[in-house]
Amino acid sequence: MSVNEPTTRLVILISGRGSNMRSIIEAINHQQLDARVAAVISNRPDAAGLEYASSQSIPTKIIDHKAFADRESFDRALAQQIDEFNPDYVILAGFMRILTAEFVEHYQNKLINIHPSLLPKFKGLDTHQRAIDAGEKEHGASVHFVTAELDDGPVIMQAKVQVMPDDSAQTLAARVLEQEHQLYPAAIQKLVNVKQD
């Protein structure tokens, strides 16, 4: 290993498109994030993001939740696979599974999520439509530590966008996603900096 090789190891979990995963990998490739992706793991065999990870020579694994009898056994198998890659941080990037308290506790202070709202507002799904319906002037995305509560836990960084009068959920989602792609690598770099202090 060269002296300058990043030592902070990330395991990224995805369920689908994986555009946030991609933004993290691109930030690393452009030396904007001092970390390495040890593996990308998906709970869905058809997650589009897997192809991009493979094209970057990053190991990929599939742990299909449908093959498990219950949430506990899936989470245990997932944790076992993650731990083989010995990560400093486990990065949820559009990983659409509710995690057991046991799993969350196992990764205390290491489990990070991005959520498309200005937490604590709009936990859960359909965040963009709900922000419009609530007449919000500002909306955005949050990167946070994961705790046992859904979309909860200390916020690491947020990015804001203005809600325009003619916004639909789609136009707003697109603007927030653009911000997410800047926000997630920056928030992880913030953690790396703290770790190196």
Q: What residues contact 106, with CB distance under 8 A and at least 6 apart? A: 79
Catalytic status, residue 30: no
Q: Does 185 bind ligand GAR (CB under 6 A)?
A: no
Q: Are 142 and 118 in contact (CB under 8 A)?
A: yes
Annotated binding site: 18-20, 71, 96-99, 113
Rg (CA), the chain: 17
For ligand GAR, the binding residue among 10, 74, 116, 188 (CB under 6 A) is 116
| Per-residue interface string for the shown chain with ligand GAR, residues 90-109, x marking contact by CB under 6 A | ---xx---------------
CB closer to ligand GAR, 5 vs 94: 94
CB closer to ligand GAR, 35 vs 119: 119
For ligand GAR, the binding residue among 10, 13, 20, 103 (CB under 6 A) is 20
What's the closest the beta carbon of residue 118 comes to ligand GAR, in angstroms? 12
91-110 b/e with 16+ CB inside 10 Å = b?
A: bbbbbebebbeebbebbeeb
- Going across the sheet that includes 9-14, the strands are 60-62, 36-42, 9-14, 89-92, 111-115, 138-145, 155-162
Which residues are designated catalytic? Answer: 115
